[in-house]
A = this chain, B = another copy of it.
Amino acid sequence: MATIYEVSELAGVSLATVSRVMNNNAKVSDKTRTKVLQAMDKLGYKPNSIAQSLASNRTNSVGVLVSELHGGFFGFIMDGIENELRIANKHIIITTGHSDEAQEKSAIDFLISRKCDALILLTDSVDDDYLISISKTIPTVLVNRKINGIANNCISLNNEQGGYLATKALIEKGHEDIAYIAGPDWKVDSHDRLLGHKKALTEHNLAYKTELFFQGDFNEDSGFDGFNQLKTAATKFTAIACGNDEMASGAMKAARKQGLDLPKDLSIVGFDNNMFASYLYPELTTVDNSAYFMGKMATDIILKSVYKQDDITIQNVFEPKLVQRNSIASIS
């Protein structure tokens, strides 16, 4: 592998000059530039990115932490990150934290030791203060999280609006007795989604009834249990809004098991627009979480702040959209 030194010899210039044409930096005369370029070409020269990093103290890499690599949400986010980074000729180093505090912290350490120029973190197992302290050490953007004080480096979804849209979609089809299967309340996501649900109810003069509320945990099973639990309550309902698509699927399975004909006997709306949403039967009407675009935007923040690409507009909060499919029936 040819080095910058060999190029400089062949071109009859100094190391410094070769370096300059590589970086399109200082002014180099056209004549010199072409001489150097030709030499590079002839030698098939490729800069050694490691040496560049050591000398420039910049690795052109950004570290990413997600919970898991499989799963629709993370996949789309990472697609958004990778695409954007690739265009900028930066690279992405990936680690997983498995939603475990210790593992997430060690993953962050790992990324830092790898000298990433910046971090994109997707975590809910690590507390605000820790993240704030990290962000003082290294440029950090948080996806799907919002922390006061570093809000400019946070990308999040307007979950309340999403919850609102979901329930509103039900109401507009004539539903008035709407149950809700929520995610864990300590997660802001699910907390906010529930808020949106209540808001839609209130706005349409419908009462929120605790008998029609079930507290799940975002997993499919809890949706299954949720439906069964709800069913035992005396209060009737014609629809269920779910905190995410997994639980929606669980609820659908339970309902069908009890002989209900979906969506005729029961309407369901989910949240996330998970990969499998369109594979469910009936195909699930749900709220898209903009995962791809959140990943892209997280990257843009870094491109702008770390790599000085100025022509970028940042948007910290994303507005969700309803994705209409076939899981909501009209009440006649």
Contact with B along A56-79 (1 / 0, CB 8 A): 000101000000111110111011
Least Cβ distance of A174 to chain B in Å? 25
Judge whether A315 is part of the interface by a CB distance below 8 angstroms: no
CA distance A252 to B280 in the complex (A): 11
User: Closest chain B residue to A73 by CB distance?
Assistant: B70
**A70: contacting residue among B48, B72, B86, B220, CB under 8 A:** B72
This chain's copy number in the assembly: 2
Judge whether A110 is part of the interface by a CB distance below 8 angstroms: yes
Query: Are A50 and B46 within 8 A (Cβ)?
Result: no
CA distance A304 to B253 in the complex (A): 45
* A113 and B79 contact, Cβ closer than 8 Å, known pairs A91-B93, A279-B249, A279-B276: no
Q: Which residues does chain B contribute within 8 Å of A93, judged by CB atoms?
A: 61, 91-93
Q: Which residues does chain B contribute within 8 Å of A280, judged by CB atoms?
A: 279-281
Q: Which residues does chain B contribute within 8 Å of A95, judged by CB atoms?
A: 82, 86, 91
Query: Are A75 and B79 within 8 A (Cβ)?
Result: no
Least Cβ distance of A254 to chain B in Å? 12
Q: Which residues does chain B contribute within 8 Å of A110, judged by CB atoms?
A: 86, 91
Judge whether A115 is part of the interface by a CB distance below 8 angstroms: yes
List A residues 107-121 near B (Cβ within 8 Å).
Answer: 107, 110, 113-115
List A residues 250-278 near B (Cβ within 8 Å).
Answer: 252-253, 256, 275-276
* A94 and B76 contact, Cβ closer than 8 Å, known pairs A275-B71, A279-B249, A279-B280: no
CA distance A276 to B277 in the complex (A): 9
Judge whether A26 is part of the interface by a CB distance below 8 angstroms: no
Query: Are A69 and B78 within 8 A (Cβ)?
Result: yes
Q: Which residues does chain B contribute within 8 Å of A50, judged by CB atoms?
A: 50, 53-54, 59, 115
Least Cβ distance of A98 to chain B in Å? 9
Contact with B along A10-47 (1 / 0, CB 8 A): 00000000000000000000000000000000000011
Q: Which residues does chain B contribute within 8 Å of A324, judged by CB atoms?
A: none
Query: Are B79 and A69 within 8 A (Cβ)?
Result: yes
**A96: contacting residue among B49, B79, B107, CB under 8 A:** B79
Q: Which residues does chain B contribute within 8 Å of A68, judged by CB atoms?
A: 75, 79
Query: Are B54 and A51 within 8 A (Cβ)?
Result: yes
CA distance A72 to B72 in the complex (A): 8
Judge whether A135 is part of the interface by a CB distance below 8 angstroms: no
Judge whether A215 is part of the interface by a CB distance below 8 angstroms: no
9 residue pairs, one from A and one from B, having the closest CB atoms? A70-B75, A276-B276, A281-B281, A69-B78, A276-B279, A69-B79, A50-B53, A50-B54, A70-B76
Chosen A-B contacts, 18 in total, with CB atoms closer than 8 Å, are: A46-B113, A48-B54, A49-B114, A50-B50, A50-B54, A68-B75, A68-B79, A69-B75, A69-B79, A69-B82, A70-B79, A74-B75, A78-B94, A79-B96, A92-B93, A256-B281, A279-B279, A281-B281
Which A residues have a C-beta under 8 Å from some C-beta of B? 46-51, 53-54, 59, 61, 68-72, 74-76, 78-79, 82-83, 86, 91-96, 107, 110, 113-115, 220, 249, 252-253, 256, 275-276, 279-281
